[in-house]
Amino acid sequence: MSLMTTARQLARFTGRTQMLTKCLATKMVHTETQNSATSGGERARFPGAQAAFVDKPLMSLPENSEPIPIYRAMNADGVFEDPAQDPNLSRETVQKMFRDMVLLNTMDKILYESQRQGRISFYMTNFGEEASHIGSAAALSPDDWVYGQYREAGVLVWRGFTISDFINQCYGNREDEGKGRQMPVHYGSKKLNFVTISSPLGTQIPQAVGAAYAFKRQPNNDRCVITYFGEGAASEGDAHAAFNFAATLDCPVILFCRNNGFAISTPSKEQYRGDGIAGRAAGYGIAALRFDGTDIFAVYNATKQAREYVLKHNKPIVLEAMQYRISHHSTSDDSSAYRPAEELEIWNTVEHPISKLKNYMKQRDWFNEEEEEKYVKAIRKQVLAQINQSEKIPKPDWREVFQDVYHEMPTHLKEQMKQMEEHVEKYKEHYPLNDFKN
Amino acid sequence: MSLLKLTGSALAKKTVAPLVIATRASSHFVYTPDAKAPIEGPTKKMNMFQAINNAMDIAMERDNSALVFGEDVAFGGVFRCSMGLQQKYGKERVFNTPLCEQGIAGFAIGVANTGATAIAEMQFADYIFPAFDQIVNEAAKYRYRSGNLFDCGSLTFRAPSGAVGHGACYHSQSPEAYFAHTPGLKVVVPRGPNKAKGLLLACIKEKDPCIVFEPKTLYRAAVEEVPEAPFESPLGKADVLRVGNDMTLIGWGTQIHVLKEVADMAKKEYGVNCEVIDLVSILPWDKETVCNSAKKTGRVLIAHEAPLTCGFGAELAATIQEECFLHLEAPIARVTGWDTPFPHVFEPFYIPDKFRCLAGIKKLIDY
C-alpha cells in the first residue's frame, strides 16, 4: 500500500518536473507529435534509454524494418547510374587499381596451384573480393593503420607489398620479415602500416579500436584505423566488444566487413538472422554504410566518406561490402561440397569486380587488351620466377624459434636454446639443417 | 555475470577488512610488513591499494601516453585503486569501459600496438577468462608472430586475485598457473604495498605484456611504510625473506604471510629453521634463488591457494627435483587449495592455512 502511494506520488512529481524542465519538455512535444500511442505524453525517466511510453505492448518486429540499401556507383557494364558518383580518378590511378587487382588475381592463381603441388603448405585466395581491397585501400591515407583478417592481400598490393614480399612470407624463408613463424598469408608490414595477421578470428577488431583511441589522443591527428573482417568473424564476441567500445569511447575507426556470403561452408543465413552486419550498427549507436563490394568505385566512395566522417567526428562507422567468395575458403577446403558450381558462374563473369572496372575503362578508352595481356604474362612470369627463387632462399637460423618471445630472451629460454643447440649438434643428420641459414 | 559481479564488488569494496574479521573468528594470515624499505628516502604509510594508486599516479605523471581503464575505474575502482586519478588526469586518460573483458584486453593490445602505455584492470581475476583468448593468443604472441614488427609490450593487466574470506567461486580464484603456461607473458604477484608499487611500475615500464595479480585481501589489510619516490622491483626475481638451513618454504602473495607465521611456529614447536622465499614472479621465475635454497636445505615445501593439480607448485617441484635431486632429503611437499572450485562457507577447510602448512613441515621432518 505504502509502496503504491509512493509510486503515485513519484508519478505526479515526475509530471511536474517535466513541465518545468525545458529540455525534457521539448522531448515531450516531440514524443506527442511523433507517437500518438504515448500515455498522456509522459516521458520515461529510466537512465538506460531515451524513449517515450506507449500504452500497448508493441513489439519491434525485425520484419518491419527496411534493410539498409546497397550503394552502387556503377552497374555491371561500368556505367555510372548517377554521373555525380564518378569520383573522376585520374587515368593513372584507375589503371593502378585495375593492375593491382589483376596482379592479386594472377598471383593467387599461381600460388593456389603451387600449394596443390605441395610447394607451399597453405594458401587462401582473394577471388571476387579484389575490389573491396583495392577500392578501400585507395581511399585511405598510407598512414592509416590496417588490421586485417587474412583475405585482404589487395590492401598490401596497393600499398606496395611486392610479389617477393608475399611469396617469401608463404615460404617462411629468411627474407620473410615475420621470420617464418606463421602460416602462409599471415602477412604484416611495419612500414606499410599493416598490422601482422593472426589466425584467431575477430581478435583484431577490438585491437583496432584501441589503436584508434591512441591515435585520437595524438596532437593534430590525421590518422584513422581500418579493420577488416568477414561476416562470419562478426559473430565472434570480439566483434561485439569492438563495436560497443568504438561507440562508447568515440574512436576514429572504420569497421569494414567483407560480407561474401560464406564462412567456410556456413552460408550467411546460418550466421545471422538480422539485416547483415550493417544492420547491427544502429544498435550500437554507430553509423553504417552498405555497398556493392564488386563495384570498386562504390567501395572507394564509401570508404573515402567513412574516413572523413570518422576523423571529423572521432566516431566509428560500420562499412559492409556485399560480395561473393568465389574462392574456396582455403587450400584445405573444396567449396563444391556445399555450394553448386552454377552459382559461381554469375560471380565469375558479369558480377566480377575486375570485369566491371574493365568495362569502365573500355568506355574511356583506357583499356588496351594487348597491353593487359602482356601485363598478365609479365606478372605470371614474375610470380613463377619468385616462387623458384623463394624456394631456394634458406629459411632463417633455426635459433629464431627462441627469439622475440620476449623483448629480451629470459634465462630459461637461453637454457632451452642451448639444450637444442647441443642436441642438434649431436643428432644433426636427423634435422633439415641445410634448409636453414647458419 | 554482471549482477553477481556488482554484488561481489560492492561486498568487497565495503567489507574487505572489517567484515572478514566480523564474519570469521580470525583472518587466515597475519600481515607482516617488509623489514626494510626497498629504497632510501622519505616514506609514507600506505596500504596496498594506496601503493597501487600511487604507482599509477607516478606512471601517468611521467608518461602522457599512459591510460588507465577498465570496469568502474573512473570513480576510483571497486577496490579504490584508481581513486582521484580521473580528476587529476582527465576523462580521456582514466575511463570506464563497457562491461566486457575480451574488449578490455583487445582494446589494451591495440593501444599498446601504437606504443602508448595501457594499464588495464580486470575487476576480479576470476573474470579474466573471457579475455583469455586475447591474452594468450594475441598479447603473448604479438612480438613473436610478427617477427618483432609489432608488439604490445607497453600493456599491463591488473587483476585482484586470491582468497578474501567470503569470495566463493568467483571472487577468490588464483589463476596464475593458466598464464604461466603461456610463453610471451610476464606474471607477478605482490605480497604487500612496497612490492605492489615496485612491481607495477616495473611492469608498466617492461617491454613485454605483464599481468599483476593483486591479492585483494591485502588491499586494506597490508599497511607499511612505502617510499614516496618511484622505484621498481625487478621482474623474474624471488625474495628470500627469512634465512634458514633446515627447510625451504616457497609461496607468493598472501600465502607468504601464512608461511612467515608457519616458519615461526616450526621454529618454536620443532626447532626447525625455515628459509622463506617469496617467488614474486611466476613467469619467468627465479630458478637460481629457489634451487640454491633447495640445495642448501634439502627439504622443500611449496604452498599456494590455487588447486593442486597443475598448479604452479607442480612446475616448481618438477624443476627442483631435476636440478637438486642429489640434495633432496625428502619428497617435495605441496600444500595447496584442493582440486575443487573455491567454496563459500567451506573456505576455512579449503585454503592451505598455517596448520596444514605446519602439518606438511612435520611430515618433511619425519620423512
Domain ranges of chain B: 43-227, 239-366
| Residue among A225, A242, A410 minimizing CB distance to B236 | A410
Positions of A annotated as catalytic residues are: 113, 199, 329-330
Partners of A217 on chain B (C-beta within 8 Å) are 65, 92, 116
Task: State residue A43's pLDDT score.
Answer: 82
Task: State residue A87's pLDDT score.
Answer: 98
Contact B147/A213, CB-based, under 8 Å?
Answer: no
Residue of B nearest to A145 (CA): B114
- Rounded to two decimals, the ipTM of the complex is 0.93
Task: State residue A40's pLDDT score.
Answer: 55
CB atoms within 10 A of CB B287: 17
Task: State residue A34's pLDDT score.
Answer: 46
pLDDT higher than 80, residue B9: no
Cell numbers of A81, please?
A: 547510374
Task: State residue A41's pLDDT score.
Answer: 65
Contact A244/B92, CB-based, under 8 Å?
Answer: no
Domain B239-366 belongs to what architecture? 3-Layer(aba) Sandwich (3.40)
- By three-state DSSP, how is residue B69 classified? strand
Cell numbers of A28, please?
A: 515531450
pLDDT higher than 70, residue B4: no
The fourth-level CATH superfamily of domain B43-227 is Thiamin diphosphate (ThDP)-binding fold, Pyr/PP domains (3.40.50.970)
| Residue among A211, A244, A406 minimizing CB distance to B98 | A244
pLDDT higher than 60, residue A48: yes
Contact A214/B65, CB-based, under 8 Å?
Answer: yes
Partners of B103 on chain A (C-beta within 8 Å) are 206, 238, 240-242, 244-245
Contact A210/B113, CB-based, under 8 Å?
Answer: yes
Domain boundaries for CATH 3.40.50.970 within chain A: 74-391
Q: What is the pTM of this model?
A: 0.92
DSSP codes joined into one string, B222-266: -EEEEESS---PPTT--EEEE--SSEEEEE-TTHHHHHHHHHHHH
- In the numeric block, the cell 537512465 is attached to A47
Instruction: Name which of A424-428, B33-37, B47-51, B111-115 the model is least confident about.
Output: B33-37
pLDDT band at A437 (very low <50, low <70, confident <90, very high): confident
Note the pLDDT tens digit of each residue in A279-315.
Answer: 999 999 999 999 999 999 999 999 999 999 999 999 9
Q: What's the whole-number mean pLDDT along residues B113-141?
A: 98
Whether B239-366 and B43-227 are alike in CATH topology: the answer is yes
The count of CB pairs under 8 A between chains A and B is 153
pLDDT higher than 50, residue B146: yes
The CA-atom distances, in angstroms, between B308 and each of B164, B172, B257, B302 are 19, 15, 20, 10
pLDDT higher than 80, residue B254: yes
Task: State residue B27's pLDDT score.
Answer: 82
Interface of B with A in 193-222 (CB under 8 A): 206-208
| Residue among A207, A249, A408 minimizing CB distance to B113 | A207
Contact B144/A203, CB-based, under 8 Å?
Answer: no
pLDDT higher than 50, residue B349: yes
Note the pLDDT tens digit of each residue in A98-134.
Answer: 999 999 999 999 999 999 999 999 999 999 999 999 9
pLDDT band at A3 (very low <50, low <70, confident <90, very high): very low
pLDDT higher than 70, residue B96: yes
pLDDT higher than 70, residue A90: yes
Alpha-carbon gap: A24 to the closest alpha carbon of chain B (Å) = 27
Question: For a pLDDT cut of 90, what percent of chain A falls above it?
Answer: 88
Specify whether the CB–CB gap between B45 and B188 falls below 8 A: no
Interface of B with A in 172-191 (CB under 8 A): 183-184, 186
pLDDT higher than 60, residue B24: no
pLDDT higher than 80, residue A433: yes
Cell numbers of B367, please?
A: 620423512
CA–CA dist A176, A179 (Å, integer): 5
| Residue among A178, A241, A242 minimizing CB distance to B145 | A178
Task: State residue A5's pLDDT score.
Answer: 39
Alpha-carbon gap: B123 to the closest alpha carbon of chain A (Å) = 17
Note the pLDDT tens digit of each residue in B166-217.
Answer: 999 999 999 999 999 999 999 999 999 999 999 999 999 999 999 999 999 9
pLDDT higher than 50, residue B18: no
CA–CA dist A388, A176 (Å, integer): 15
pLDDT higher than 50, residue A262: yes
Which residue, among B239, B217, B334, B325, has the nearest Cα to B288 in the 3D structure?
B239
SS3 string, chain A, reads: CHHHHHHHHHHHHHHHHHHHCHHHHHHHHHHHHHCCCCCCCCECCCCCCCCECCCCCCCCCHHHCCCCCCECCECCCCCECCHHHCCCCCHHHHHHHHHHHHHHHHHHHHHHHHHHCCCCCCCCCCCCCHHHHHHHHHHCCCCCEEECCCCCHHHHHHHCCCHHHHHHHHHCCCCCCCCCCCCCCCCCECCCCEECCCCCCCCHHHHHHHHHHHHHCCCCCCCCEEEEEECCHHHCHHHHHHHHHHHHCCCCEEEEEEECCEECCEEHHHCCCCCCCHHHHHHHCCEEEEEECCCHHHHHHHHHHHHHHHHHHCCCEEEEEECCCCCCCCCCCCHHHCCCHHHHHHHHCCCCHHHHHHHHHHHCCCCCHHHHHHHHHHHHHHHHHHHHHHHHCCECCHHHHCCCCCCCCCHHHHHHHHHHHHHHHHCHHHCCHHHECC
Partners of A213 on chain B (C-beta within 8 Å) are 67, 107, 110-111
Residue B212: enclosing H or E segment and its boundaries? strand B210-215
Partners of A177 on chain B (C-beta within 8 Å) are 147, 149
Best to test chain B binding among A245, A251, A314, A413 (most B CBs inside 10 Å): A245
Fold of the domain built from segment(s) A74-391: Rossmann fold (3.40.50)
pLDDT higher than 90, residue A7: no
Alpha-carbon gap: B345 to the closest alpha carbon of chain A (Å) = 34
DSSP codes joined into one string, B127-184: G-GGGHHIIIIIGGGHHHHTTTSS--TTEEEEEEES--SS-GGGSS--THHHHHTSTT
Note the pLDDT tens digit of each residue in B274-317.
Answer: 999 999 999 999 999 999 999 999 999 999 999 999 999 999 99
Contact B114/A214, CB-based, under 8 Å?
Answer: yes
Q: What's the whole-number mean pLDDT along residues B336-355?
A: 98
- The better pLDDT of the pair A387, A5 is held by A387
Partners of B117 on chain A (C-beta within 8 Å) are none
| Residue among A178, A182, A203 minimizing CB distance to B134 | A203
Which residues, at least 6 apart from B127, have a Cβ–Cβ distance to it below 8 Å? B1, B5, B101, B170
pLDDT higher than 50, residue A26: no
Contact A190/B149, CB-based, under 8 Å?
Answer: yes
Which residues, at least 6 apart from B256, have a Cβ–Cβ distance to it below 8 Å? B191, B241, B276, B278
Contact A241/B103, CB-based, under 8 Å?
Answer: yes
pLDDT higher than 80, residue B14: no
Task: State residue B38's pLDDT score.
Answer: 95
